[in-house]
């Protein structure tokens, strides 16, 4: 006879693990925003999450691992925006508008979280395999967007894809940083203008 409790327990344990992991992440986010990443300790995160320090290390090997996971969540969403745009018939200019406006909607809804993930994420570039992998993934996604534009003749073919990716990513990041630095205009407005300018910059001459 099948033991109902034994078959139910694995699912219950998995849910409890997910809840504990989320509690640790939520505690870390709150402390990173309140104190800054460098001033936040593993002990403080564990205390706020109401878990022991050994329990913390069952889920994450460091506070940096939490930060990387948070940043990866944002990156995954941005790459998904690009892939969804590529799955629809549209000009590169229209795709850029869609991608950047969707990103602006998400980022402007959580400015403190955006500041945390962007500023700390930029500071960590090149310092680990995770950050290098992250940069490569974003570069590849943006390159796919431009390569599709070259094929449909609305992105210039006389300029390297890598250089144009640098232009797009640089413009995108600067728009966000400028907004975080106290720019009065809504991020969505800034992103719309940035997308228009960048689309014109990569268009055939």
CA distance 59 to 42: 12
Q: What is the mean pLDDT of residues 79-96?
A: 96
> What is the spatial distance between Cα 138 and Cα 130, in angstroms, rounded to a whole number?
12
Confidence tier at 2 by pLDDT (50, 70, 90): very low
Band (22; pLDDT cuts 50, 70, 90): very high
- Residue 98 pLDDT more than 80? yes
Q: Do residues 70 and 25 touch, judged by C-beta distance below 8 A?
A: yes
Q: What is the distance between the alpha carbons of residues 84 and 145, in angstroms, rounded to a whole number?
A: 11
Supply the pLDDT for residue 130.
65
What is the three-state SS of the chain?
CCCHHHHHHHHHHHHHHHHHHHHHHHHHHHHHHHHCCCCCCHHHHHHHHCCCHHHHHHHCCCHHHHHHHHHHHHHHHHHHHHHHHHCCCCCHHHHHHHHHHHHHHHHHHCHHHHHHHHHHHHHCCCCCHHHHHHHHHHHHHHHHHHHHHHHCCCCCCCCCHHHHHHHHHHHHHHHHHHHHCCCCCCHHHHHHHHHHHHHHHHCCC
Question: For residue range 110-161, what is the model confidence (pLDDT) as tens digits?
Answer: 898 988 888 777 765 555 666 677 788 889 999 999 999 999 999 999 999 9
Q: pLDDT-derived band of residue 59, with 50, 70 and 90 as boundaries?
A: very high
pTM of the model: 0.81
Q: Which of 61, 104, 58 is nearest to 81 (CA)?
A: 104
User: What percent of the chain has a predicted confidence (pLDDT) above 70?
Assistant: 90
In order of start, what are the domains of the chain with their CATH numbers?
4-59 (1.10.10.60), 64-202 (1.10.357.10)
pLDDT, mean of residues 41-54: 97
The stretch 7-24 carries a mean pLDDT of 84
Q: Report the chain's mean pLDDT, rounded to a whole number.
A: 89
For residue 198, the Cα-to-chain-centroid distance in whole angstroms is 20
User: Is the Cβ–Cβ distance between 24 and 45 less than 8 Å?
Assistant: yes
**Angle between the N-to-C axes of helices 111-123 and 63-86, in degrees from 0 to 180, rounded to the nearest 10:** 100
């Amino acid at each position: 006879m099948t033991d109902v409790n034994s078959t139910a327990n694995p699912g219950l344990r998995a849910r409890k693990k997910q809840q504990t992991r989320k509690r640790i992440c939520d505690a870390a986010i709150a402390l990173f925003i309140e104190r800054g990443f460098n001033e936040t300790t593993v002990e403080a995160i564990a205390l706020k999450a109401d878990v022991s320090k050994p329990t913390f290390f069952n889920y994450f090997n460091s506070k940096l691992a939490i930060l990387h996971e948070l940043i990866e969540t944002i990156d995954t969403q941005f790459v998904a925006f690009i892939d969804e745009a590529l799955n629809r018939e549209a000009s590169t200019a229209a795709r850029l508008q869609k991608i950047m406006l969707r990103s602006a909607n998400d980022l402007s809804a959580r400015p403190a979280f955006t500041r945390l993930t962007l500023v700390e994420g930029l500071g960590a570039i090149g310092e680990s395999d995770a950050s290098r992998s992250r940069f490569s993934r974003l570069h590849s996604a943006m390159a796919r967007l431009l390569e599709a534009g070259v094929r449909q003749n609305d992105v210039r073919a006389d300029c390297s894809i890598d250089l144009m990716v640098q232009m797009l990513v640089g413009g995108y990041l600067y728009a966000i940083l400028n907004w975080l630095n106290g720019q009065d205009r809504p991020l969505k407005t800034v992103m719309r203008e940035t997308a228009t300018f960048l689309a014109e910059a990569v268009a055939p001459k």
